[in-house]
Amino acid sequence: MNIYYFANQVYQLSFALPLFKKLGGIFLIKRPRKILSFKVRMINTNVDFQPKTFLNIPPVIKKRPSQMQDLQGIVVSQSNTKLNVDKKKCKTIFVGHGTGDKRYGGNAETLLTYDYIFLSGAKHL
């Protein structure tokens, strides 16, 4: 099964590294200029994982949230963004990042589009 990691900001993708190192997968970035930033920040983070890549950078592809219909597997999102996936071929998981044990400040309607939501604490509801 394919696993994809998505976030609006490059720094948010670093929160997915523990999952990536255990499960593998592909990082999704929505803008070409952010791919370069991702590669610079992620040099040698793929040291213990296969397949080996140039400069040990995790696999990354450009994919906008509105163009994810061709993905099959699981998309783990660190951003409260509506992902346009084929619900028959792909499951979506929202993982709150760095929000701690405080009230959620994002759009709750967008959260309802996810198949699974992982929260950091009771106040995050």
Tell me: the pLDDT tens digits for 40-97? 888 777 666 666 677 778 889 999 999 999 999 999 999 889 999 999 999 999 987 6
Our CA dihedral for 75, 87, 71, 125, rounded to 10 degrees, sits at -20
* Burial zone of 21 (CB within 10 Å; 0-12 exposed, 13-18 middle, 19+ buried): middle
Q: What is the pLDDT of residue 107?
A: 79
Helical ranges in the chain per DSSP H: 10-13, 17-23, 32-41, 108-111
Ordered by start, the domain boundaries in the chain are 3-124
Sequence-ordered list of residues with C-beta below 8 angstroms from that of 60, at least 6 positions apart, any chain: 26, 27, 28, 29, 35, 38, 39
Q: What is the pLDDT of residue 49?
A: 62
Mean pLDDT of the chain: 85
Residue 19 pLDDT exceeds 70: yes
Q: What is the pLDDT of residue 56?
A: 78
Chain-centroid distance of CA 79 in Å reads 8
- Give the single-character DSSP code of 57: P
Model confidence at 18, pLDDT cuts 50, 70, 90, reads confident
Share of the chain above pLDDT 70, in %: 82
Architecture of domain 3-124: 3-Layer(aba) Sandwich (3.40)
Token pair for 48: 């213990």
Q: What is the pLDDT of residue 5?
A: 96
Residue 99 pLDDT exceeds 60: no
